[in-house]
Chains A and B, each alone.
Chain A
Amino acid sequence: MERKQILKIVIVALFAALFTAGAYIKIPLAPVPVVLSTLFALIAGSCLPMSLAVASVVVYLFLGAIGLPVFTSGGGLAALFGPTGGYLIGLIPAVIFGSLVMKALEKHIRIAALISAIVATVFIYVVGLPWLSVRMGGLSVAATLSSGLVPFIIGDTLKIVVSTIIAPVIRPRIMELLERDE
Protein backbone atom coordinates (compact mmCIF):
# COMPACT_ATOMS: atom_id res chain seq x y z
CA MET A 1 0.00 0.00 0.00
CA GLU A 2 1.29 3.49 -0.83
CA ARG A 3 2.60 5.60 2.04
CA LYS A 4 0.16 8.40 1.20
CA GLN A 5 -2.84 6.04 1.51
CA ILE A 6 -1.58 4.81 4.89
CA LEU A 7 -1.06 8.43 5.99
CA LYS A 8 -4.66 9.30 5.09
CA ILE A 9 -5.99 6.33 7.09
CA VAL A 10 -3.80 7.28 10.07
CA ILE A 11 -4.98 10.92 9.93
CA VAL A 12 -8.63 9.75 9.86
CA ALA A 13 -7.96 7.46 12.83
CA LEU A 14 -6.13 10.14 14.80
CA PHE A 15 -8.85 12.74 14.28
CA ALA A 16 -11.50 10.20 15.32
CA ALA A 17 -9.41 9.55 18.44
CA LEU A 18 -9.13 13.34 18.94
CA PHE A 19 -12.95 13.69 18.91
CA THR A 20 -13.03 11.01 21.62
CA ALA A 21 -10.41 12.85 23.65
CA GLY A 22 -12.44 16.04 23.28
CA ALA A 23 -15.45 14.31 24.81
CA TYR A 24 -13.42 13.75 28.00
CA ILE A 25 -12.14 17.34 28.30
CA LYS A 26 -14.67 19.74 29.87
CA ILE A 27 -13.78 23.41 30.16
CA PRO A 28 -15.62 24.87 33.18
CA LEU A 29 -17.57 27.83 31.77
CA ALA A 30 -21.06 29.15 32.47
CA PRO A 31 -23.83 28.18 31.98
CA VAL A 32 -22.73 24.69 30.88
CA PRO A 33 -19.21 23.26 30.62
CA VAL A 34 -17.68 23.44 27.15
CA VAL A 35 -16.83 20.06 25.66
CA LEU A 36 -14.09 20.07 23.05
CA SER A 37 -15.24 17.23 20.77
CA THR A 38 -17.34 19.63 18.66
CA LEU A 39 -14.42 22.08 18.48
CA PHE A 40 -12.20 19.34 17.06
CA ALA A 41 -14.95 18.49 14.56
CA LEU A 42 -15.01 22.14 13.43
CA ILE A 43 -11.22 21.97 13.08
CA ALA A 44 -11.52 18.74 11.05
CA GLY A 45 -14.03 20.40 8.72
CA SER A 46 -11.84 23.45 8.18
CA CYS A 47 -8.44 21.77 8.01
CA LEU A 48 -8.89 18.36 6.41
CA PRO A 49 -9.92 17.51 2.84
CA MET A 50 -13.65 16.72 2.83
CA SER A 51 -13.24 12.98 2.33
CA LEU A 52 -10.92 12.66 5.34
CA ALA A 53 -13.07 14.91 7.52
CA VAL A 54 -16.21 12.90 6.74
CA ALA A 55 -14.35 9.60 7.20
CA SER A 56 -13.07 10.68 10.63
CA VAL A 57 -16.58 11.60 11.77
CA VAL A 58 -18.00 8.33 10.37
CA VAL A 59 -15.35 6.31 12.23
CA TYR A 60 -16.09 8.27 15.42
CA LEU A 61 -19.85 7.70 15.12
CA PHE A 62 -19.26 4.04 14.28
CA LEU A 63 -17.18 3.54 17.43
CA GLY A 64 -19.92 5.14 19.48
CA ALA A 65 -22.61 3.10 17.72
CA ILE A 66 -20.91 -0.19 18.60
CA GLY A 67 -21.00 0.81 22.24
CA LEU A 68 -17.65 2.41 23.06
CA PRO A 69 -18.20 5.44 25.35
CA VAL A 70 -16.63 7.94 22.94
CA PHE A 71 -19.48 10.47 23.07
CA THR A 72 -19.94 13.06 25.80
CA SER A 73 -23.10 11.18 26.75
CA GLY A 74 -21.44 7.76 26.65
CA GLY A 75 -21.86 5.33 23.78
CA GLY A 76 -24.15 2.85 22.10
CA LEU A 77 -27.15 3.06 19.81
CA ALA A 78 -29.18 4.69 22.59
CA ALA A 79 -26.77 7.63 22.63
CA LEU A 80 -26.68 7.87 18.84
CA PHE A 81 -30.45 7.57 18.30
CA GLY A 82 -31.55 9.09 21.59
CA PRO A 83 -32.68 12.71 22.06
CA THR A 84 -29.17 14.15 21.77
CA GLY A 85 -28.11 11.94 18.85
CA GLY A 86 -29.03 14.60 16.32
CA TYR A 87 -26.07 16.70 17.43
CA LEU A 88 -23.81 13.74 16.62
CA ILE A 89 -25.40 12.87 13.26
CA GLY A 90 -25.28 16.60 12.45
CA LEU A 91 -21.46 16.43 12.56
CA ILE A 92 -21.54 14.78 9.12
CA PRO A 93 -23.20 17.64 7.20
CA ALA A 94 -21.27 20.05 9.43
CA VAL A 95 -17.84 18.83 8.24
CA ILE A 96 -19.07 18.46 4.64
CA PHE A 97 -20.26 22.04 4.36
CA GLY A 98 -17.41 23.35 6.50
CA SER A 99 -14.98 21.73 4.09
CA LEU A 100 -16.80 23.05 1.03
CA VAL A 101 -16.65 26.60 2.38
CA MET A 102 -12.92 26.29 3.09
CA LYS A 103 -12.26 24.99 -0.41
CA ALA A 104 -14.34 27.74 -2.04
CA LEU A 105 -12.75 30.61 -0.08
CA GLU A 106 -9.29 29.16 0.51
CA LYS A 107 -7.47 32.26 -0.78
CA HIS A 108 -8.98 34.28 2.09
CA ILE A 109 -8.23 31.71 4.73
CA ARG A 110 -9.22 33.68 7.85
CA ILE A 111 -12.62 34.66 6.48
CA ALA A 112 -13.04 31.14 5.14
CA ALA A 113 -12.22 29.68 8.56
CA LEU A 114 -14.80 31.92 10.26
CA ILE A 115 -17.58 31.18 7.76
CA SER A 116 -16.69 27.47 7.77
CA ALA A 117 -16.99 27.29 11.56
CA ILE A 118 -20.29 29.19 11.58
CA VAL A 119 -21.77 27.06 8.78
CA ALA A 120 -20.65 23.84 10.46
CA THR A 121 -22.15 24.92 13.81
CA VAL A 122 -25.42 25.87 12.13
CA PHE A 123 -25.68 22.44 10.52
CA ILE A 124 -25.13 20.70 13.85
CA TYR A 125 -28.14 22.55 15.21
CA VAL A 126 -30.19 22.21 12.01
CA VAL A 127 -30.08 18.44 12.58
CA GLY A 128 -29.83 18.39 16.38
CA LEU A 129 -32.75 20.63 17.36
CA PRO A 130 -35.56 19.00 15.33
CA TRP A 131 -34.19 15.60 16.36
CA LEU A 132 -34.32 16.62 20.03
CA SER A 133 -37.87 17.90 19.68
CA VAL A 134 -39.14 14.74 17.99
CA ARG A 135 -37.32 12.29 20.29
CA MET A 136 -38.60 14.07 23.39
CA GLY A 137 -42.18 13.56 22.23
CA GLY A 138 -42.78 16.76 20.32
CA LEU A 139 -41.36 19.66 22.30
CA SER A 140 -42.50 23.14 21.35
CA VAL A 141 -40.11 25.42 19.46
CA ALA A 142 -39.56 27.53 22.57
CA ALA A 143 -38.84 24.51 24.75
CA THR A 144 -36.51 23.01 22.14
CA LEU A 145 -34.52 26.22 21.76
CA SER A 146 -34.34 26.85 25.50
CA SER A 147 -33.04 23.36 26.23
CA GLY A 148 -31.12 22.55 23.08
CA LEU A 149 -29.61 25.85 21.93
CA VAL A 150 -29.61 28.69 24.45
CA PRO A 151 -27.40 27.04 27.13
CA PHE A 152 -24.73 26.29 24.52
CA ILE A 153 -24.55 29.64 22.70
CA ILE A 154 -21.60 31.00 24.69
CA GLY A 155 -19.63 27.76 24.38
CA ASP A 156 -20.30 27.44 20.65
CA THR A 157 -19.36 31.08 20.02
CA LEU A 158 -16.11 30.38 21.81
CA LYS A 159 -15.50 27.31 19.66
CA ILE A 160 -16.17 29.27 16.46
CA VAL A 161 -13.64 31.93 17.53
CA VAL A 162 -11.04 29.31 18.49
CA SER A 163 -11.55 27.36 15.26
CA THR A 164 -11.14 30.58 13.26
CA ILE A 165 -7.82 31.25 15.02
CA ILE A 166 -6.51 27.71 14.69
CA ALA A 167 -7.47 26.80 11.10
CA PRO A 168 -5.01 29.16 9.34
CA VAL A 169 -2.21 27.62 11.47
CA ILE A 170 -3.13 23.94 11.13
CA ARG A 171 -4.57 23.69 7.61
CA PRO A 172 -1.35 24.56 5.73
CA ARG A 173 0.54 22.03 7.82
CA ILE A 174 -1.93 19.24 7.04
CA MET A 175 -1.99 20.10 3.33
CA GLU A 176 1.80 20.12 3.22
CA LEU A 177 1.86 16.72 4.94
CA LEU A 178 -0.60 15.23 2.44
CA GLU A 179 1.07 16.78 -0.61
CA ARG A 180 4.57 15.71 0.41
CA ASP A 181 4.23 12.22 -1.04
CA GLU A 182 2.79 13.32 -4.39
Chain B
Amino acid sequence: MAEGVIFHYRNDDNILSRMNPNAKLLSVLVFSAIVSSAGSLLVIILSFLALMLAVAIRLPFARYLKESIFFLILAGCMVISAAVDTHNAVFATSKGIGFLAMVLASMLLTDSTMPDDLSRSLGSAFSHVLGRRAYILAAAVEITISMIPIIVDSAIGMFEARRARGASFARHPVRTISEYSVSMVSDLLNKAEVYTDALYSRGYDASARRSIPGYSALDAVVIIIDIAAIISAIIIPRIF
Protein backbone atom coordinates (compact mmCIF):
# COMPACT_ATOMS: atom_id res chain seq x y z
CA MET B 1 0.00 0.00 0.00
CA ALA B 2 2.78 2.40 0.95
CA GLU B 3 4.51 1.88 -2.37
CA GLY B 4 1.51 3.20 -4.27
CA VAL B 5 1.22 6.19 -1.96
CA ILE B 6 4.86 7.21 -1.91
CA PHE B 7 6.31 6.41 -5.32
CA HIS B 8 4.75 8.45 -8.07
CA TYR B 9 6.87 7.20 -10.95
CA ARG B 10 4.68 6.42 -13.95
CA ASN B 11 6.09 4.16 -16.61
CA ASP B 12 5.22 6.26 -19.65
CA ASP B 13 6.94 7.12 -22.93
CA ASN B 14 7.11 10.91 -23.07
CA ILE B 15 9.74 13.59 -23.52
CA LEU B 16 10.48 13.82 -19.79
CA SER B 17 10.81 10.09 -19.16
CA ARG B 18 13.45 9.90 -21.92
CA MET B 19 15.63 12.59 -20.33
CA ASN B 20 18.57 11.99 -18.00
CA PRO B 21 17.60 12.38 -14.30
CA ASN B 22 20.39 14.91 -13.65
CA ALA B 23 19.24 17.11 -16.53
CA LYS B 24 15.69 17.08 -15.17
CA LEU B 25 16.78 17.79 -11.59
CA LEU B 26 18.96 20.69 -12.78
CA SER B 27 15.95 22.07 -14.68
CA VAL B 28 13.76 21.82 -11.56
CA LEU B 29 16.42 23.58 -9.46
CA VAL B 30 16.93 26.38 -12.03
CA PHE B 31 13.16 26.75 -12.54
CA SER B 32 12.56 26.98 -8.79
CA ALA B 33 15.39 29.47 -8.30
CA ILE B 34 14.14 31.76 -11.09
CA VAL B 35 10.45 31.52 -10.13
CA SER B 36 11.17 32.35 -6.49
CA SER B 37 13.00 35.57 -7.39
CA ALA B 38 11.55 36.74 -10.71
CA GLY B 39 9.02 39.51 -11.38
CA SER B 40 5.28 38.83 -11.56
CA LEU B 41 5.01 38.60 -15.36
CA LEU B 42 7.93 36.16 -15.73
CA VAL B 43 6.57 34.02 -12.89
CA ILE B 44 3.18 33.77 -14.59
CA ILE B 45 4.75 32.94 -17.98
CA LEU B 46 7.04 30.24 -16.53
CA SER B 47 4.19 28.77 -14.48
CA PHE B 48 2.02 28.61 -17.60
CA LEU B 49 4.82 26.80 -19.47
CA ALA B 50 5.16 24.27 -16.64
CA LEU B 51 1.39 23.71 -16.70
CA MET B 52 1.45 23.18 -20.49
CA LEU B 53 4.23 20.61 -20.10
CA ALA B 54 2.22 18.81 -17.42
CA VAL B 55 -0.81 18.70 -19.71
CA ALA B 56 1.34 17.54 -22.64
CA ILE B 57 2.69 14.52 -20.74
CA ARG B 58 -0.81 13.83 -19.32
CA LEU B 59 0.20 14.26 -15.68
CA PRO B 60 -2.48 12.56 -13.55
CA PHE B 61 -3.68 15.70 -11.73
CA ALA B 62 -6.48 13.89 -9.93
CA ARG B 63 -4.00 11.56 -8.26
CA TYR B 64 -1.89 14.44 -6.99
CA LEU B 65 -4.82 16.60 -5.89
CA LYS B 66 -5.28 15.09 -2.42
CA GLU B 67 -1.56 15.45 -1.58
CA SER B 68 -1.55 18.98 -2.96
CA ILE B 69 -4.26 20.31 -0.63
CA PHE B 70 -1.65 21.38 1.92
CA PHE B 71 0.29 23.25 -0.79
CA LEU B 72 -2.91 24.92 -2.03
CA ILE B 73 -3.70 26.14 1.48
CA LEU B 74 -0.12 27.32 1.95
CA ALA B 75 -0.22 29.16 -1.40
CA GLY B 76 -3.46 30.83 -0.32
CA CYS B 77 -1.83 31.99 2.93
CA MET B 78 1.16 33.33 0.97
CA VAL B 79 -1.14 35.29 -1.37
CA ILE B 80 -3.10 36.81 1.53
CA SER B 81 0.05 37.64 3.46
CA ALA B 82 1.71 39.26 0.42
CA ALA B 83 -1.48 41.19 -0.44
CA VAL B 84 -1.75 42.60 3.08
CA ASP B 85 1.96 43.47 3.07
CA THR B 86 2.26 45.10 -0.39
CA HIS B 87 -1.36 46.03 -1.31
CA ASN B 88 -0.51 44.71 -4.78
CA ALA B 89 -2.92 42.01 -5.92
CA VAL B 90 -0.89 41.04 -9.01
CA PHE B 91 2.33 40.62 -7.04
CA ALA B 92 0.55 38.65 -4.30
CA THR B 93 -1.13 36.34 -6.81
CA SER B 94 2.15 35.73 -8.63
CA LYS B 95 3.69 34.67 -5.30
CA GLY B 96 1.08 31.96 -4.88
CA ILE B 97 1.23 30.90 -8.51
CA GLY B 98 5.04 30.71 -8.39
CA PHE B 99 4.93 28.52 -5.28
CA LEU B 100 2.46 26.14 -6.93
CA ALA B 101 4.62 26.11 -10.07
CA MET B 102 7.55 24.88 -7.97
CA VAL B 103 5.30 22.13 -6.57
CA LEU B 104 4.28 21.21 -10.14
CA ALA B 105 7.93 21.09 -11.25
CA SER B 106 8.70 18.56 -8.50
CA MET B 107 5.68 16.50 -9.55
CA LEU B 108 6.94 16.45 -13.13
CA LEU B 109 10.29 15.16 -11.88
CA THR B 110 8.90 12.37 -9.68
CA ASP B 111 6.30 11.38 -12.29
CA SER B 112 8.94 10.79 -14.95
CA THR B 113 11.95 9.56 -12.94
CA MET B 114 12.63 6.35 -11.08
CA PRO B 115 14.06 7.30 -7.66
CA ASP B 116 16.82 4.70 -8.02
CA ASP B 117 17.95 6.22 -11.34
CA LEU B 118 17.99 9.68 -9.83
CA SER B 119 20.06 8.73 -6.77
CA ARG B 120 22.55 6.79 -8.90
CA SER B 121 22.88 9.64 -11.40
CA LEU B 122 23.43 12.15 -8.63
CA GLY B 123 26.01 9.90 -6.99
CA SER B 124 27.88 9.78 -10.25
CA ALA B 125 27.67 13.56 -10.74
CA PHE B 126 28.77 14.39 -7.17
CA SER B 127 31.59 11.84 -7.27
CA HIS B 128 33.65 14.38 -9.23
CA VAL B 129 33.58 16.57 -6.10
CA LEU B 130 33.03 14.17 -3.19
CA GLY B 131 34.74 11.08 -4.56
CA ARG B 132 33.64 7.74 -3.09
CA ARG B 133 31.46 9.46 -0.49
CA ALA B 134 29.03 10.46 -3.24
CA TYR B 135 28.49 6.81 -4.17
CA ILE B 136 28.03 5.89 -0.50
CA LEU B 137 25.40 8.66 -0.13
CA ALA B 138 23.69 7.44 -3.30
CA ALA B 139 23.76 3.88 -1.93
CA ALA B 140 22.17 5.05 1.33
CA VAL B 141 19.46 6.81 -0.69
CA GLU B 142 18.83 3.67 -2.77
CA ILE B 143 18.56 1.45 0.33
CA THR B 144 16.22 4.01 1.96
CA ILE B 145 14.01 4.09 -1.12
CA SER B 146 13.77 0.30 -1.15
CA MET B 147 12.95 0.22 2.57
CA ILE B 148 10.44 3.06 2.80
CA PRO B 149 7.42 0.98 1.71
CA ILE B 150 8.33 -1.82 4.15
CA ILE B 151 8.94 0.53 7.08
CA VAL B 152 5.83 2.63 6.39
CA ASP B 153 3.62 -0.45 6.05
CA SER B 154 5.13 -1.90 9.25
CA ALA B 155 4.62 1.39 11.11
CA ILE B 156 1.01 1.76 10.00
CA GLY B 157 0.34 -1.91 10.73
CA MET B 158 1.70 -1.61 14.29
CA PHE B 159 -0.26 1.61 14.80
CA GLU B 160 -3.54 0.05 13.66
CA ALA B 161 -2.88 -3.13 15.66
CA ARG B 162 -2.41 -1.11 18.84
CA ARG B 163 -5.59 0.84 18.18
CA ALA B 164 -7.44 -2.42 17.53
CA ARG B 165 -6.20 -3.77 20.89
CA GLY B 166 -7.66 -0.74 22.62
CA ALA B 167 -4.57 1.44 22.96
CA SER B 168 -5.81 4.95 23.58
CA PHE B 169 -3.40 7.58 22.32
CA ALA B 170 -5.62 10.32 23.68
CA ARG B 171 -5.98 8.93 27.24
CA HIS B 172 -2.42 7.66 27.77
CA PRO B 173 -0.38 9.46 25.10
CA VAL B 174 3.04 9.21 26.76
CA ARG B 175 2.82 5.50 27.52
CA THR B 176 1.18 4.55 24.24
CA ILE B 177 3.52 6.56 22.03
CA SER B 178 6.58 5.37 24.00
CA GLU B 179 5.61 1.71 23.64
CA TYR B 180 4.81 2.20 19.98
CA SER B 181 8.10 4.01 19.28
CA VAL B 182 10.18 1.40 21.15
CA SER B 183 8.47 -1.36 19.11
CA MET B 184 9.16 0.53 15.87
CA VAL B 185 12.82 1.24 16.60
CA SER B 186 13.47 -2.28 17.95
CA ASP B 187 11.91 -3.77 14.83
CA LEU B 188 14.05 -1.45 12.75
CA LEU B 189 17.27 -2.49 14.51
CA ASN B 190 16.42 -6.17 13.99
CA LYS B 191 15.90 -5.43 10.30
CA ALA B 192 19.22 -3.53 10.22
CA GLU B 193 21.14 -6.64 11.27
CA VAL B 194 19.32 -8.88 8.80
CA TYR B 195 19.85 -6.47 5.87
CA THR B 196 23.48 -5.93 6.78
CA ASP B 197 24.19 -9.66 6.86
CA ALA B 198 22.35 -10.12 3.54
CA LEU B 199 24.34 -7.33 1.84
CA TYR B 200 27.66 -8.43 3.38
CA SER B 201 27.17 -12.02 2.27
CA ARG B 202 26.67 -10.75 -1.28
CA GLY B 203 29.92 -8.78 -1.19
CA TYR B 204 28.05 -5.46 -1.34
CA ASP B 205 30.25 -2.41 -1.90
CA ALA B 206 28.41 0.89 -1.48
CA SER B 207 31.36 2.87 -2.83
CA ALA B 208 31.43 1.07 -6.18
CA ARG B 209 30.36 2.84 -9.35
CA ARG B 210 26.96 1.81 -10.71
CA SER B 211 25.52 1.95 -14.19
CA ILE B 212 23.70 5.21 -14.86
CA PRO B 213 21.42 6.45 -17.65
CA GLY B 214 23.36 8.15 -20.45
CA TYR B 215 22.98 11.72 -21.72
CA SER B 216 21.30 12.47 -25.05
CA ALA B 217 21.40 15.52 -27.34
CA LEU B 218 18.14 16.68 -25.73
CA ASP B 219 19.78 16.51 -22.27
CA ALA B 220 22.71 18.59 -23.52
CA VAL B 221 20.36 21.24 -24.96
CA VAL B 222 18.35 21.36 -21.72
CA ILE B 223 21.49 21.69 -19.57
CA ILE B 224 22.81 24.52 -21.78
CA ILE B 225 19.44 26.30 -21.56
CA ASP B 226 19.43 25.86 -17.75
CA ILE B 227 22.93 27.34 -17.40
CA ALA B 228 22.06 30.23 -19.75
CA ALA B 229 18.84 30.88 -17.83
CA ILE B 230 20.50 31.02 -14.42
CA ILE B 231 23.30 33.26 -15.72
CA SER B 232 20.72 35.57 -17.31
CA ALA B 233 18.71 35.64 -14.09
CA ILE B 234 21.81 36.80 -12.23
CA ILE B 235 23.19 39.27 -14.80
CA ILE B 236 20.05 40.93 -16.27
CA PRO B 237 18.77 42.48 -13.00
CA ARG B 238 22.22 44.02 -12.46
CA ILE B 239 22.21 45.62 -15.94
CA PHE B 240 18.62 46.93 -15.95
Contacts and interface: CB of A to CB of B under 8 A. Distances in A.
Contacts of A39: 177, 181
A160 to B, nearest CB: 10
A145 to B, nearest CB: 16
Nearest to A177: B189
Interface stretch (A79-87, A99-107, A120-128): A79-87
Q: How would you classify the secondary structure of chain B's contact residues: helix, strand, loop or mixed?
A: helix
B145 A63 contact: yes
A91 to B, nearest CB: 15
Given A3-B196, A69-B67, A76 B177 contact: no
Most chain-B Cβ atoms within 10 A of its Cβ — which of A3, A17, A34?
Answer: A17
B177 A169 contact: no
B110 A17 contact: no
Contacts of A173: 186, 189
Nearest to A3: B200
B185 A43 contact: yes
Contacts of A76: 102-103, 105-107, 109-110
B187 to A, nearest CB: 10
Interface in A33-80: 34, 36, 39-40, 43, 47, 55, 58-60, 62-63, 66-70, 73-79
Interface string B168-208: 01100110011001101110110111011101100011110
Contact-size category for A: 35 or more
Contact of B192 (A11, A25, A43, A47): A11
Q: How would you classify the secondary structure of chain A's contact residues: helix, strand, loop or mixed?
A: helix
A5 interface: yes
A9 B181 contact: no
B188 A18 contact: yes
A83 B152 contact: no
A21 B110 contact: no
Contact of A162 (B137, B148, B152, B181): B181
Nearest to B177: A162
Nearest to A72: B70
Contact of A16 (B6, B82, B140, B205): B140
Interface string B119-149: 1000000000000000011011101110110
Nearest to B206: A9
A58 B122 CA distance: 14
A153 interface: no
A21 B157 CA distance: 11
Contact of A66 (B2, B25, B174, B204): B25
Interface of B: 2, 5-8, 25, 28-29, 32, 36, 67-68, 70-71, 74, 77-78, 81-82, 84-86, 95, 99-100, 102-103, 105-107, 109-110, 115, 118-119, 136-137, 139-141, 143-145, 147-148, 150-152, 154-156, 159, 169-170, 173-174, 177-178, 181-182, 184-186, 188-189, 191-193, 195-197, 199-200, 204-207
Interface of A: 1, 3, 5-7, 9-18, 20-22, 24-25, 27-29, 34, 36, 39-40, 43, 47, 55, 58-60, 62-63, 66-70, 73-79, 81-84, 135-139, 158, 161-162, 165-166, 169-170, 173-174, 177
6 contacts: A5-B206, A9-B139, A12-B144, A28-B170, A170-B185, A173-B186
